Amino acid sequence: MVASFDVAQLRDLFPALKQDQVFFDNAGGSQALGDVVDSITQYLSKTNVQLGASYHTGKLSNSKYDEGYEAAAKYIGAGTDEIVLGASTTQLFMNLSAALKFNEGDEIILSKMEHETNVKPWLHMADRLKLKVKWWVSEKPELKLTPENLKPLLSEKVKFVSCTHVSNILGGIHDVAAIAEAVHSVGALFCVDGVSFAPHRPVDVKAFGVDFYAFSWYKVYGPHISVLYASNKAQEHVNPLAHYFNPTKTLEDKLGLSASNYEAVQSIPQIVKYLSEIDHDASAAHEGKLQAILLDFLNSRDDITVHGSTSADAKERIPTVSFTVKGVSSRKIVEDAEKISNYGFRWGHFYSKRLCDEVLGLDEDGVTRVSMVHYNTEEEVKGLVEVLKKVLP
Ligand SMILES: Cc1ncc(COP(=O)(O)O)c(C=O)c1O
């Protein structure tokens, strides 16, 4: 139990953090809680049977799975009939895109600040249903999606808008509640990719006012499984993909396609228990301190460009920090750092290729990205700054 926010105490809950490796690729995937690992071992050891059975072990397995769904729904402030758990956010958006109903000629708005997960499914949908796609961009140096830069694109013809809560490159937090209001003012549906937000702040889909929201638990201290929310009202636009003889009442019935991984689903209560015991204000303040150490160094050099907000304010951004260095490839920085240290961070476009190519105008090596979460320490970031000082010209 993490009574208050104590980094040393909470690090103890993650077996992987006892190794000689600094984990700074958390936007790629976080480490898993020991309780999650144990619950998966327990489930597979004792209750790994097909769901729906009425014999003793079958009933145990059914209730563990149901508890996973209930915990996930409660954590994000949704009803259990408003969520579906599935292989990945990409997969869940693709399922949703195959199920949404629109009319030929309707318009949809997609942003260029996205991981491709929040683009391809909707392009596929637009192609299938003959919808018109409009692109939403916030150019440099602002690089921030707002109701103001969305409004010129909105009209009664627009039926669907999608954007990210936080870019996996830029780290800035979008005000999705304000954007939702703008989207709803023309009667369109609003979908948000919460993958980069969820590891850092609590998720409350009703407060956000969104129609669809998804994120992946493998970046939120759990196993490789994701959740998609669709409000009951938004589900009126969702055509069930279920077999004809199966129920079509809940979102799981409609989009689940039998694809939730049982052992992963039943481990979600362990993640939610951990998240509910954390002091989230203290966690955000700690993340603010981590990003301040790195940003102070990066901002102090004229040859370094931080892509996205240069502010360390935790209200502005989460600690996913991407940068490029004049005359040095992002790949070389990472490779050189790996030669002399145990720091794990990465280079590239991180599947936000439209953002890197078309908005930031970067070469194929993209950015160097350091992505921290609340279990990282100030000492680790100070150590990284020393490593960077050694590998940079
Ligand atoms: C912002 C963002 N959206 C979506 C995804 C894709 O998530 P998944 O791997 O669950 O499909 C990622 C993965 O890195 C991401 O960073």
CA distance 308 to 170: 5
Predicted local distance difference test score (pLDDT) of residue 259: 79
Predicted local distance difference test score (pLDDT) of residue 60: 97
Please report which residue ranges of 161-316 form alpha helices under DSSP H.
176-185, 205-208, 251-255, 262-265, 268-277, 280-299
Please check whether residues 292 and 154 belong to one and the same domain: no
Q: Nearest 5°: phi and psi at 327?
A: 80, 0
Contact 110, 119 (CB under 8 A): yes
Please check whether residues 251 and 328 belong to one and the same domain: no
Q: The domain that contains 327 carries what CATH number?
A: 3.90.1150.10
Residue 393, pLDDT above cutoff 80: yes
Predicted local distance difference test score (pLDDT) of residue 219: 98
- Name the residue with tokens 């590239």: 348
Report the DSSP beta bridge partners of residue 51: none
Each residue's pLDDT tens digit, 24-34: 999 999 999 99
Please check whether residues 220 and 156 belong to one and the same domain: yes
Whether ligand 1 lies within 6 angstroms of the CB of 320 is answered as no
Domain count, the chain: 2
CA 296–ligand 1 middle distance (angstroms): 28
Q: Which of 207, 240, 274 is where one domain is finished?
A: 274
Pairing of strands 212-216, 320-325: unpaired
Whether ligand 1 lies within 6 angstroms of the CB of 89 is answered as yes
Whether ligand 1 lies within 6 angstroms of the CB of 115 is answered as yes
Predicted local distance difference test score (pLDDT) of residue 105: 98
% pLDDT > 70, the chain: 99
Each residue's pLDDT tens digit, 149-183: 999 999 999 999 999 999 999 999 999 999 999 99
CA 386–ligand 1 middle distance (angstroms): 30
Please check whether residues 187 and 66 belong to one and the same domain: yes
Q: What is the mean pLDDT of residues 181-194?
A: 98
CA distance 126 to 160: 11
CA distance 148 to 166: 17
Entry field: residues in the chain: 393
Q: What is the DSSP letter of 31?
A: P
Q: What is the DSSP letter of 55?
A: S
CA 318–ligand 1 middle distance (angstroms): 16
Q: Nearest 5°: phi and psi at 301?
A: -110, 130
In 3D space, the residue among 187, 183, 163 whose CA is nearest the CA of residue 174 turns out to be 163
Contact 136, 109 (CB under 8 A): yes
* Residues spanned by the domain of 54: 39-274
User: In ligand 1, which atom is closest to the CA atom of 224?
Assistant: 10
SS3 call for 61? helix
User: In ligand 1, which atom is closest to the CA atom of 216?
Assistant: 10
Predicted local distance difference test score (pLDDT) of residue 3: 47
Residue 103, pLDDT above cutoff 90: yes
CA distance 322 to 317: 12
Lowest mean pLDDT among 2-6, 37-41, 200-204, 340-344: 2-6
Q: What is the mean pLDDT of residues 221-250?
A: 97
Contact 85, 225 (CB under 8 A): yes
Each residue's pLDDT tens digit, 278-295: 999 999 999 999 999 999
CA distance 320 to 30: 13
For a ligand 1 pocket test, name from 115, 162, 353 the mutation site with the most ligand atoms within 8 angstroms of its C-beta: 115
Contact 197, 168 (CB under 8 A): no
Whether ligand 1 lies within 6 angstroms of the CB of 165 is answered as no
Contact 170, 322 (CB under 8 A): yes
CA 89–ligand 1 middle distance (angstroms): 6
Please check whether residues 261 and 290 belong to one and the same domain: no
Sign of the dihedral defined by the CA atoms of residues 57, 59, 60, 65, in that order:
positive
Examine residue 2 and state whether it is found in any structural domain, yes or no: no
Please check whether residues 69 and 143 belong to one and the same domain: yes
User: In ligand 1, which atom is closest to the CA atom of 226?
Assistant: 10
Residue 333, pLDDT above cutoff 70: yes
Please check whether residues 169 and 309 belong to one and the same domain: no
Predicted local distance difference test score (pLDDT) of residue 179: 98
Please check whether residues 53 and 134 belong to one and the same domain: yes
Q: Which two tokens stand for residue 226?
A: 């994701």
| Rounded (5°) CA angle 368-282-346 | 10
CA distance 294 to 171: 14
Predicted local distance difference test score (pLDDT) of residue 345: 98
3-state helix, strand, coil split of the chain in percent (to 5) is 45, 15, 40
Q: What is the mean pLDDT of residues 262-273?
A: 98
Q: Which of 274, 306, 329 is where one domain is finished?
A: 274
Examine residue 80 and state whether it is found in any structural domain, yes or no: yes
Please check whether residues 93 and 113 belong to one and the same domain: yes
User: In ligand 1, which atom is closest to the CA atom of 215?
Assistant: 10
Q: Which of 274, 293, 315 is where one domain is finished?
A: 274
Predicted local distance difference test score (pLDDT) of residue 86: 98
b/e per residue 163-173 (b: at least 16 CB within 10 A):
bbbbbbbbbbb
CA distance 345 to 349: 13
User: In ligand 1, which atom is closest to the CA atom of 91?
Assistant: 11
